[in-house]
Structure 1
Amino acid sequence: MNWTLFDFVLAGFLLAALALAVFLLLRLKRSRAYRGGLFLFIATSVLLILVNGAVGIIDGSEHDANMLYVAALGAAWLGGAVMRFRSNWLSRFLSVLALSYVFIAAAAVILGWGQAGAAWPWDVLVGSAVFAILWQVSAWLFGLDADIRTLKGTSA
């Protein structure tokens, strides 16, 4: 790992953004499920960017296939922003994001991406599975909030 000043600044910025998000989440007037889902969404996003930038999931951070993880994450954030972070839509977007990570891992194994890695294919499979599980838990929390809001009779 050869970190530059830019890498440290970016990592500091991401951690500061995570701290600010936690502070703002504590003040948010939504259900615990929504706040938990949003926290997990933000924390997992930061973790993915840090892990992908530092060591990568597929054969080190310099492998181009690692950008598939970031592109799928960007699509989920864009979809969430377009739908104004409504819980029912975030639940759907994050379930698709989790599934996309499974497909990325399958493609990496089938196509042999990252075979030079010492722990291949386990590093790709386990790394992708951990993030897919985190996305799916976040999706479940948003779905729980959508159900709560439906029962209360307000729009999700």
Structure 2
Amino acid sequence: MNTEQPLSKNLLYLAAGTAAILLIPFTAMQFTSEVIWTLSDFLVAGTLILGTGCAYLFVTRKSGTYAYKVAVVFALGTGFLLIWSNLAVGVIGSEDNPINLWYFGVIAIGIIGAFISGFKANGMVITLFAAAIAQALIAFVAIFGGYYQSPPSSVIEILGVNGFFITLWIVSALMFRYAAQKVTENLQPK
């Protein structure tokens, strides 16, 4: 018995969820001057939320394993957080610091690696470890290249924020490794 929802119904839920999330800052804007979003802010946030949800639906549509789906959620969530924080305030200094553009390279590694590996769990392990290494290299360049000085971010802040994302990429990779092991175990004759 297949308990999967049709794709069109999932997309409808996803669109409704995105609208509900965007109502939060919209409502806050009605009651405080602390929250100031422009139309472009809503468009970027909506695209990011909806795009992440659609990516989840696309990647998991043929995978029935729970471990793989959790790994996908974790990887997409990490990418979402990296993009969101980078666009909102910047990872190093402000969002205007040019080194922050390099973090989109980390996202590109994830996207390109996912397509090259055919979204297979073993390939995603390599892809996410590569994302972690790229994130670490950006932190290294930021610290030893002096990018943290203008606008200022302390070395501790750079290490802490990048360490957080590196940890998330590694945990994602390990979750895909676990998902790959589960698939291998299920294929073994009993």
Query: TM-score surpassing 0.5?
Result: yes
What is residue 143 of structure 2 aligned with on the other side? 109
The alpha-carbon deviation at position 119 of structure 1 amounts to 4.3
Partner of 1:17: 51
Distance 2:171 2:40 in 1: 32
* Alpha-carbon offset, residue 118 of structure 1: 4.8
| 2:48–2:80 Cα contact (<8 Å) kept | yes
Cα distance in 1, alignment partners of residues 60 and 91 from structure 2: 32
Q: TM-score, normalised by structure 1?
A: 0.85
**Unpaired stretches in structure 2, ≥5 consecutive residues:** 1-34
1:87-139 deviation digits (Å, cap 9, x = unpaired): 00001110111122112111111111121345411221111111111111110
The CA RMSD measured in Å over matched residues stands at 2.5
Identity %: 28
CA distance in 2: counterparts of 1:61 and 1:19, whole angstroms? 25
Letter in structure 2 aligned against 1:65: I
1:80 to 90, 97, 114: 114
Matched, 1:35 2:69: yes
Q: Contact 1:44–1:135 at 8 Å: present in 2 too?
A: yes
- The whole-number CA distance in structure 1 between the counterparts of 2:94 and 2:122 is 35
Larger displacement relative to structure 2 (15-24 or 122-131) = 15-24
Who is 1:59 aligned against?
93
Structure 2-normalised TM-score?
A: 0.71
CA contact (8 A) 1:101 1:131 kept: yes
Which structure has the greater CA radius of gyration?
A: 2
Measured after TM superposition, the shift of residue 28 of structure 1 is: 5.8
- 1:33–1:141 Cα contact (<8 Å) kept: yes
